[in-house]
Structure 1
Amino acid sequence: MARTGRPREFDKDKTLERALELFWSRGYGTTSIQDLVDALTVERGSLYGAFGDKRRFYLEAVRLYWDVYERRLTAALDTTPLLPGLRQMLTHPARLDEFISDVGTPHGCLVGNTTAELVPHDGDATDIVTRSYRRFTAIVTEALRRAQAAGEVTDSATPEAQAQLLLYLVQGLSLVSRAGLDKEAALAAVDAAIEGLRAR
């Protein structure tokens, strides 16, 4: 007998957001399609139909992660003075315990995790990661340039070099956080970096 009930509505955006949380907490390699089906309560066929295979699903989640992060970064740095907003973004890897969800606790930065798991062997992942890092340094460079002009940030180095250093700092914190992180020590390290940027 044919089924006459309405099919369950499939919300692609919400499904992708939930998948992002799962991938962020477990990683790409250890998250199976069955894990996604179980956690998202979506039929396997719906996932394949909407996103293709697991790899393409994961890359879509990484793109979403970066889009959200970039909007938050831009908003946080569009402030005067700059350094409090910059500190907020730099301490993000040390505060991941604040972002726990019912699918788990996030680990590190999803872009950084992708670097560790898939780069350089996956060309699409490499493109996403490279573009994300470039966007980070471009956004932070412009903010630091404004802060240097306002006399808030030291001009002992170019804003480009300062932004690159901060990329290394935040990604280093993200990587270390995957192995367990002394939160107070991490926050102290960020504060040391902020003080190093402050104009005297």
Structure 2
Amino acid sequence: MARTGRPREFDKDQTLTRALELFWSRGYGATSIQDLVDALGVERGSLYGAFGDKRRFYLDAVRLYWDVYERHLTAALDTTPLLPALREILTHPARLDELVSEAGVPQGCLVGNATAELVPADEEATDLVSRSYRRFTDLVTEALRRAQAAGEVTDSARPEAQAQLLLYVVQGLSLVSRAGLDRAAALAAIDTAVDALRA
């Protein structure tokens, strides 16, 4: 039987995952289309055909990053007791030995990196990162609400405010880590934040 249409020259999902790693390692501005062509082994025309321009490709990578992160976040928050899981979430940017890019720079959070590079000038990027941050606070708020009801977390503040504070902690750590971070001091700060939630 004759084939109809051209076979795909590459796996789009796999290519996006590999592009995500490159963008995450180097940043949006420092990654050229030629860098992507060379690293992914895909012709320029095929990349444009599948993903559009570099900006569109990058935003698709950020969406993929968030989708994966949210799955891990949801699983972590669905544990009892909650505070050890929250500490694990917050310490992620401080584990520099596990999260260093090919350039020797901590990668931070790709959503946070997109905020620093594209927001507020790019409306679509602004909407993407704003929705990601809202999703983080919504998920953490619900987990904190359950932990308050169980008596594990203090009810001296609304869970929405507690979740917002944790967003600021994790994003601040992600950003600061890219300039170098005293790991012991970072972990001590995280422990202080987690202890403040304890009932």
Same fold (TM over 0.5): yes
User: How far is the alpha carbon of 1:94 from its aligned partner?
Assistant: 1.1
In structure 1, the gaps of 5 or more residues are 1-5
Asked if 1:71 corresponds to 2:71, the answer is yes
Higher mean C-alpha deviation, range 88-97 or range 52-61: 88-97
CA distance in 1, matches of 2:175, 2:195: 23
User: How far is the alpha carbon of 1:104 from its aligned partner?
Assistant: 6.9
The answer to whether the 8 A contact 1:21-1:103 is kept is no
The answer to whether the 8 A contact 2:93-2:108 is kept is yes
Within 5 A, what are the aligned runs for 1:64-103?
64-100=64-100
Cα deviation, 1:50-84, whole Å, max 9, x if unaligned, reads 10000000000000010011110000000010011
CA distance in 2, matches of 1:152, 1:131: 28
CA distance in 1, matches of 2:106, 2:11: 23
Cα deviation, 1:66-109, whole Å, max 9, x if unaligned, reads 00111100000000100111111111111253145768765111
**Partner amino acid, structure 2, of 1:187:** L
The answer to whether the 8 A contact 2:106-2:177 is kept is no
CA distance in 2, matches of 1:106, 1:41: 25
The answer to whether the 8 A contact 2:81-2:152 is kept is yes
**Partner amino acid, structure 1, of 2:149:** A
Distance 1:91-1:143 versus aligned 2 partners, 3 A rule: same
Q: Secondary structure at the match of 1:153?
A: coil
Q: Secondary structure at the match of 1:91?
A: helix
Distance 1:106-1:178 versus aligned 2 partners, 3 A rule: closer
CA distance in 1, matches of 2:160, 2:102: 39
Q: Secondary structure at the match of 2:166?
A: helix
CA distance in 1, matches of 2:103, 2:38: 11
In structure 2, the gaps of 5 or more residues are 1-5
Distance 1:108-1:37 versus aligned 2 partners, 3 A rule: same
Higher mean C-alpha deviation, range 51-60 or range 79-88: 79-88
Q: Secondary structure at the match of 2:95?
A: helix
The aligned counterpart of 1:192 is 192
The answer to whether the 8 A contact 1:22-1:103 is kept is no
- Cα root mean square deviation, aligned: 1.8
User: How far is the alpha carbon of 1:9 from its aligned partner?
Assistant: 3.6
The aligned counterpart of 2:175 is 175
TM-score by length of 1: 0.92
User: How far is the alpha carbon of 1:183 from its aligned partner?
Assistant: 1.6
% of aligned pairs identical? 84
Runs of 4+ that moved beyond 6 A:
101-104
The aligned counterpart of 2:3 is none
The answer to whether the 8 A contact 1:77-1:140 is kept is yes
Higher mean C-alpha deviation, range 185-194 or range 168-177: 185-194
The answer to whether the 8 A contact 2:100-2:107 is kept is no
TM-score by length of 2: 0.92
CA distance in 1, matches of 2:8, 2:96: 33
CA distance in 2, matches of 1:147, 1:119: 34
**Partner amino acid, structure 2, of 1:35:** D
User: How far is the alpha carbon of 1:111 from its aligned partner?
Assistant: 0.7
Higher mean C-alpha deviation, range 113-122 or range 87-96: 87-96
CA distance in 1, matches of 2:11, 2:105: 23
For these two proteins, the number of residue pairs brought into alignment is 194
